[in-house]
Amino acid sequence: MDRTPNRIVALVIGVVFTLIGIVGFFVTSSMRVGNLMGFDVDIVHNIIHLVTGLIALVSVFLGWFRRFNQVFGIIYLLLGLAGLIYPGLYFNQLLMGMTHVNAADHVLHIVVGAVAAGVGFFVHDYDTSRATPTA
């Protein structure tokens, strides 16, 4: 497996989001808000994390990791910014009427989205694996 920055970022996102999605189900498995290390979670939020993580892992193994970082980065960056700036996205105290989030979630989404988008758009995929001598 090539060790490129885009592959590494997508792999880290995949592993972390999948684990957060799974652990989140132990915190709350309903629409009742739970707290996971200061972040609001509910069943929809857990499913979103789990699906995002699995898509990231699939992209790593299918070679679509750079495109994943670009798309994921833009979506999460916009979602985080919109959640902080535009309160009209909340219906019944849920973001877009679907899931519980707090300011910490928005800041984390902005940071992770910016890193993924930055790597996806601006870092070239040069192989960093060791060169093997040829005979």
Mean pLDDT, the chain, whole residue set: 86
Establish if 134 belongs to a structural domain: no
Establish if 67 belongs to a structural domain: yes
Establish if 127 belongs to a structural domain: no
Domain that holds residue 28: 5-122
Establish if 17 belongs to a structural domain: yes
Q: How many domains does the chain have?
A: 1
Establish if 83 belongs to a structural domain: yes
| Residue 15: per-residue pLDDT | 97
Establish if 132 belongs to a structural domain: no
Could you report the per-residue pLDDT of 36-52, keeping only the tens digit for each? 887 888 888 889 999 99
Cα–Cα distance measured from residue 100 to residue 52, given in angstroms and rounded to the nearest whole number: 17
- Residue 135: other Cβ atoms inside 10 A: 2
With beta carbons less than 8 A apart as the criterion, state whether 19 and 133 touch: no
Cα–Cα distance measured from residue 135 to residue 129, given in angstroms and rounded to the nearest whole number: 19
Could you report the per-residue pLDDT of 51-84, keeping only the tens digit for each? 999 999 999 999 999 999 999 999 999 988 988 8
The type of residue at 133 is P
| Residue 110: per-residue pLDDT | 95
Establish if 130 belongs to a structural domain: no
pLDDT band, residue 27 (cuts 50/70/90): confident
With beta carbons less than 8 A apart as the criterion, state whether 109 and 79 touch: yes
Establish if 115 belongs to a structural domain: yes
